[in-house]
Amino acid sequence: MNKNEIINCMADDCGMTKADAGRALDAFCGAVSSALQSGDSVQLVGFGTFGVRERSARTGRNPQTGATINIAASKNVGFKAGKALKDSLN
């Protein structure tokens, strides 16, 4: 499912225009992004939790040459599915 399909579903389910649904989805994505950038997690009860995970610096190997390379530490977005979402899949 892509962004346009999500917007269509939101518009149909909520009885709003596609333009309003698009603005609502953009606002949601912006709010989640802002919260994660400030170091907070975003918890949606029954759906899941978005959070920032830190990866430590490590060494890796170039598969073509076999040379050792240093990989810098980084921050990544993680998602942990909630119980209701997990249960809906089984």
Q: Where are the domains of the chain?
A: 1-40, 41-90
Beta strands in the chain (DSSP E): 42-44, 48-55, 58-61, 68-71, 74-81
CA distances from 39 to 42, 58, 79 (A): 10, 23, 14
pLDDT of residue 90: 87
pTM of the model: 0.79
Q: Which CATH class name applies to 41-90?
A: few secondary structures
Grouped pLDDT means (10 residues each) for the chain, 90 residues: 96 96 97 95 96 96 94 96 94
pLDDT of residue 68: 95
